[in-house]
């Protein structure tokens, strides 16, 4: 049943619904929201947002929420960013969409040129899709298909990391390892080889991130040695396993992985859908390991959070393996209706212009330092097990027992308490289980970062007091 939004006034007459309540009420009659137990809305109806500006969202009652999670990590330069909006308006009046097979257009060509020029060396080809999961499917299929085209028919499997996340479609889900999203669907999923994660939350006390990541790499090396003959690719989220709780590891793991994949004749797929476009402190996380993957998946921040778009970049060697006579049937026949959508490509170009004109990566360094310093204050709390940071991603992990890191049982939904409390304070935090994190738009200022951290501190206090 839809949540009852209007319980009536004390006089017996129904109280008038505010515009926000009216919209939420209508929503609950017809909409089914993602990643949500809809019954939760009986006590907390969806918040109807009227407009956004900078790092802020505003509801129909005029209440404002600081978007500390960039609306699922997509927004880079603020809501309703005027520069991106203007580019979109111009494009909408020129060409909104055109079939991308047999036809092309300037925004897609310019975007592909720009992406090739700013991504790690060797990535020379862009294949567009329209969301992150679709990009992962493209990369997996392309890798498998490459080996087929080369006559290597035994390479049909993938190696992925424990605690990884790559999306919700069946292929992407199969190479992910977050139980909450995956385990129910196991009977539908391909069989993947899972390597232990380099996630440094599990390092021994006194052990460095580098040493732990290197130690964990030994497992990957063994799996590659044993399975390379049947493995098409290894897929990883470089540096931060985001949906897995903002778990982080050292770039040395990626450096070693690149070298081992090349040595064993296995592709490396870097899923930078969440960490690309400056989130880890460099434009792309792979830069910190000085590596080029065989496939680079990008989405989310690609359009500054305006429109769905994704892209898989690959190299000349992969491209060449598909190039031939039609009748040889080596072509990559994957397609989506909205592939290379001109509006989305224009939004992406405007986003890249902002990066270049405002020297965002440099400017972010000071913001990251400030946010990290403020968040570090939470480390003293009796139920904060760790405060960790990678560039503009800062995470605070709460635990039942700080010393042993015994987690709170998930059924207690402590993160949900923090979410609700922060909302009341006008901050949109969306903890992942026991992990509160900040991944704000890059337009955030120090006062806003203070507000985020203070709301988290209060929320954590409240959620861990029993």
Q: Provide, rounded to whole angstroms, the least separation between the CB of residue 4 and ligand PMP.
A: 32
- C-alpha distance from residue 454 to each of 72, 112, 373, 432 (Å): 21, 41, 13, 18
What's the maximum distance between 2 C-alpha atoms anywhere in the chain? Answer: 79
- C-alpha distance from residue 214 to each of 196, 225, 258 (Å): 12, 17, 13
Element (H, E) at 386: strand 384-390
The β-bridge partners of 432 are 435
Q: Provide, rounded to whole angstroms, the least separation between the CB of residue 311 and ligand PMP.
A: 12
Q: Provide, rounded to whole angstroms, the least separation between the CB of residue 436 and ligand PMP.
A: 17
| Given 78, 167, 245, 433, the residue binding ligand PMP (CB under 6 A) | 167
Q: Which stretch binds ligand PMP (CB under 6 A): 105-113, 163-171, 368-376, 449-457?
A: 163-171
Number of residues in contact with ligand PMP under rule CB under 6 A: 14
- CA neighbor of 428 nearest in space, from 407, 459, 398, 464: 459
| Given 70, 133, 143, 282, the residue binding ligand PMP (CB under 6 A) | 133
Q: Are 277 and 347 in contact (CB under 8 A)?
A: no
Does 160 bind ligand PMP (CB under 6 A)? Our answer is no
Q: Are 97 and 324 in contact (CB under 8 A)?
A: no
- CA neighbor of 250 nearest in space, from 221, 207, 293, 292: 207
Does 242 bind ligand PMP (CB under 6 A)? Our answer is yes
Q: Provide, rounded to whole angstroms, the least separation between the CB of residue 185 and ligand PMP.
A: 15
Q: Which stretch binds ligand PMP (CB under 6 A): 106-114, 271-279, 286-294, 380-388?
A: 271-279
Q: Helix H segments across 122-182?
A: 132-149, 170-175, 179-182
Q: Which stretch binds ligand PMP (CB under 6 A): 3-11, 237-245, 357-365, 387-395?
A: 237-245
| Given 243, 302, 307, 385, the residue binding ligand PMP (CB under 6 A) | 243
**Residues 296-325 interacting with ligand PMP (rule: CB under 6 A):** 299
| Given 25, 137, 271, 294, the residue binding ligand PMP (CB under 6 A) | 271
Does 431 bind ligand PMP (CB under 6 A)? Our answer is no
- CA neighbor of 45 nearest in space, from 15, 4, 8, 7: 4
| Given 46, 78, 132, 342, the residue binding ligand PMP (CB under 6 A) | 132
> Quick one: 378 or 392, whose CB is closer to ligand PMP?
392
The β-bridge partners of 58 are 51, 64
| Given 159, 270, 274, 344, the residue binding ligand PMP (CB under 6 A) | 274
Sort 14 into a burial class: Cβ within 10 Å, 0-12 / 13-18 / 19+. exposed
| Given 199, 237, 397, 448, the residue binding ligand PMP (CB under 6 A) | 237
Tokens of 8: 């009536």
Tell me how far apart the alpha carbons of residues 170 and 188 are, in angstroms, rounded to a whole number.
7
**Which residues lie near ligand PMP (CB under 6 A)?**
131-133, 136, 165-167, 237, 242-243, 271, 273-274, 299
């Amino acid at each position: 049943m839809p949540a009852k939004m209007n319980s009536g006034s004390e006089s017996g007459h129904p109280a008038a619904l505010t515009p926000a309540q009216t919209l939420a009420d209508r929503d609950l009659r017809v909409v089914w929201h993602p990643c949500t137990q809809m019954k939760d809305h009986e006590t907390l109806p969806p918040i109807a947002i009227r407009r956004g500006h900078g790092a802020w969202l505003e509801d129909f009652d005029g209440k404002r929420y600081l978007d500390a999670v960039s609306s699922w990590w997509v927004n880079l330069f603020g809501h309703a960013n005027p520069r991106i909006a203007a580019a979109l308006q111009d494009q909408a009046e020129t060409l909104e969409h055109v079939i991308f097979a047999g036809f092309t257009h300037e925004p897609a060509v310019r975007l592909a040129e720009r992406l090739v020029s700013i991504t790690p060396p060797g990535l020379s080809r862009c294949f567009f899709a329209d969301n992150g999961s679709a990009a992962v499917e493209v990369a997996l299929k392309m890798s498998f298909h490459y080996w087929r085209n080369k006559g290597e028919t035994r390479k049909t499997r993938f190696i992925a990391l424990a605690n990884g996340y790559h999306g919700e479609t069946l292929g992407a889900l199969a190479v992910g390892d977050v139980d909450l999203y995956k385990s129910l669907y196991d009977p539908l999923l391909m069989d993947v080889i899972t390597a232990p994660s380099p996630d440094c939350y599990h390092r021994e006390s006194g052990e460095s991130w580098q040493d732990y990541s290197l130690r964990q790499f030994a497992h990957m090396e063994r799996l590659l040695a044993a399975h390379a003959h049947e493995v098409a690719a290894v897929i990883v989220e470089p540096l931060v396993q985001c949906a897995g709780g903002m778990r982080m590891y050292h770039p040395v793991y990626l450096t070693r992985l690149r070298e081992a994949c090349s040595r064993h004749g296995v592709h490396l797929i870097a899923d930078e859908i969440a960490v690309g476009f400056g989130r880890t402190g460099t434009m792309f996380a792979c830069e910190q390991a000085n590596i080029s993957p065989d496939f680079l998946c990008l989405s989310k921040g690609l359009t500054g959070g305006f429109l769905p778009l994704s892209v898989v970049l690959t190299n000349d060697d992969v491209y060449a393996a598909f190039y031939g006579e039609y009748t040889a049937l080596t072509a990559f026949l994957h397609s989506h209706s909205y592939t290379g959508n001109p509006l989305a490509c224009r939004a992406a170009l405007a986003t890249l212009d902002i990066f270049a004109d405002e020297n965002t990566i440099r400017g972010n360094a000071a913001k990251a330092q400030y946010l990290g310093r403020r968040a570090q204050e939470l480390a003293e709390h009796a139920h904060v097990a760790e405060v960790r940071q990678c560039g503009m991603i800062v995470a605070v992990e709460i635990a039942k027992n700080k010393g042993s890191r015994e987690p709170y049982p998930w059924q207690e939904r402590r993160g949900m308490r923090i979410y609700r409390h922060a909302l009341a304070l006008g901050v949109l935090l969306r903890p992942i289980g026991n992990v509160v994190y900040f991944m704000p738009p890059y337009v955030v200022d120090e006062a806003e970062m203070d507000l985020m951290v203070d709301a988290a501190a209060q929320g954590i206090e409240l959620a861990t007091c029993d």
